[in-house]
A = this chain, B = another copy of it.
Amino acid sequence: MDTTKKTIIVFSGDLDKLLAAFVIANGAAAMGDDVTMFFTFWGLNALRKDGVTGTGKGKSTVQKMFATMLPKTPSDAGLSRMNMGGVGSRLMKKVMREQNVDSIEQMRQTAIEQEISMIACTMSMDVMGFAKEDLIDGIEYAGVATYLGEADEANVNLFI
């Protein structure tokens, strides 16, 4: 077993949980670990291209409804608690700037630069109504079998 591999399933799209996921992933990569982030369900929002509405052709009405309701960028995401209609999220982003903590978009860029493997779950994309053109470049597309293969080689596997 490779003791330097880590996997994180990023299920949540909440700002605070995305922050936790990227801090752990980037921290492990900085320490030389091989890291895989597997984005499912709400977590897919963290891979969304700027300004993409996600309501492109080829989608069903229900998929378009889902896409319309999701936050448009990772930083638009709410908090998992005390979001208060977005106030909590804005407060947290303000404190993050005060404390010189990177934004989610900056952390995602660091993840790309550190060659963290970012995989979008294709089944979740179908359910949530995401197409490949809605998501950023440089990511991979795979299903649960790929995740399990990666997890088998890792010594730390988290679900966030």
B-contacting residues of A (Cβ < 8 Å)? 1, 3, 6, 9, 11-14, 16-17, 19-20, 23-24, 27-28, 31, 33, 40-42, 60, 62-63, 65-66, 69-70, 80-82, 91-92, 94-96, 98-99, 101, 123, 126-129, 143-145, 147-148, 151-152, 154-160
Q: Which residue of B lies closest to A27 (CB)?
A: B144
Given A20-B40, A145-B27, A159-B159: A98 and B9 within 8 A (CB)? no
Can you report 21 A-B residue pairs in the complex whose CB atoms are below 8 A from each other? Answer: A11-B17, A13-B81, A16-B41, A19-B127, A20-B40, A24-B148, A27-B144, A27-B148, A31-B145, A31-B148, A33-B148, A42-B81, A60-B98, A62-B91, A62-B98, A65-B91, A95-B127, A101-B126, A101-B127, A156-B157, A157-B158
